[in-house]
Amino acid sequence: MRLSGKIALVTGAAGGIGGATARCFARQGATVVLVDIDEVRCEDVLRQILQEGGTASCAVVDLTSEPQVVELFANVRRTHGRLDILVNIAGGDCEPAASVEEIDPERAMRNLDMNLKSCMLCCREAAKLMKPQGYGRIVNMSSLVYRGSPNQFSYSASKGGIYSFTRSIAMALGSFNITANALAPALVEVDAFVRALGPERWKALAEASAERYPLKRIATPDDIAKAALFLASDDAAFITGQILEISGGARL
């Protein structure tokens, strides 16, 4: 097992990618703190992990709230005394497919808060635990649209911001044996898309995307979880400040 004895905090753990990552880490021996704003789905993932014999707990937190994030990490310190791995997966796009002329400042700020601010707050609090212990692995969720997108403006800006923020903390924290890297998936098959688009529109989007990708399929949540596992493990001990595109070769 690659994460035996490690304490790992996974945000967005109620979601498609976060749930798969939390389960993967638990199977690899980590004690996992599942964090999400969605209590019902978070408890579902917790149940699955416990049924598989893993060790985990759930924390219901709005990660855009600074006091709630501070309290979350204070609880981790009280309960576990340390934090080895932070995986920031919570996020999403609440302003998809708008034209440039339709950019809405409120929804744009919501995207920046939900994706970038939440990630920055969690990294800040994690650094306070990781620096004194001289060990840490941070994995942040960007997206392939960090390169830009013709119809996701504030979302791509938030994901580009996550990449540059990750490089900055990699520079600042490296001497404390803390690595920080980012993941950049192309389209991933998650229930949230089916719920948002309906099965027909989702199928059309998934098929059209798969056709464009050299590997001729879109990603599964497990594809992303395995990349997160690599970057969170000691196999990646000398990798920091990088972005890993998990895209089936999209946009080469």
**Catalytic amino acids?**
155
Which DSSP string corresponds to 160-196?
Answer: HHHHHHHHHHHHHHGGGTEEEEEEEES-B--HHHHHH
Two structure tokens written together for 54: 């893993």
Distance CA 59, CA 17 (A): 17
- Establish if 121 lies at the interface with ligand NAD (CB under 6 A): no
Binding-site member from 3, 24, 32, 89 for ligand NAD (CB under 6 A): 89
* Residue 32 makes contact with ligand NAD by CB under 6 A: no
Cβ neighbourhood burial of 40 (10 Å; 0-12, 13-18, 19+):
exposed
Six-digit token string for 226: 């395995």
Closer to ligand NAD by Cβ: residue 131 or 167: 167
- Using CB under 6 A, pick the residue from 8, 32, 46, 114 that binds ligand NAD: 114
Which range of residues in 31-39, 74-82, 126-134, 201-209 is near ligand NAD by CB under 6 A?
31-39
User: Which residue of 3, 9, 10, 12 would you call a contact of ligand NAD, by CB under 6 A?
Assistant: 12
Smallest distance, ligand NAD to C-beta of residue 132, A: 26
Binding test (CB under 6 A) with ligand NAD, winner from 2, 43, 57, 64 = 64
By the rule CB under 6 A, 185 interacts with ligand NAD: yes
CB of 99 to ligand NAD, least distance (A): 21
Among 22, 173, 187, 225, binds ligand NAD (CB under 6 A): 187
Which among 184, 188, 173 has a CA at the least distance from the CA of 137?
A: 173
**Sheet containing strand 136-141, strands side by side:** 55-60, 31-36, 7-11, 85-88, 136-141, 178-185, 243-246
CA angle (160 as vertex; 198, 204 as ends), nearest 5: 20
Q: Which is nearer to ligand NAD, 134 or 201 (CB)?
A: 201
Closest CB to ligand NAD among residues 83, 228? 228
> How many Cβ atoms are within 10 Å of 132's Cβ, its own excluded?
10
| Minimum distance from residue 29 beta carbon to ligand NAD (Å) | 23
Quote the tokens at residue 135.
């060990």
Residues at the site binding ligand NAD, with contacts judged by CB under 6 A: 12, 14-18, 36-38, 41, 61-64, 89-92, 114-115, 118, 141, 143, 185, 187-188, 190, 192
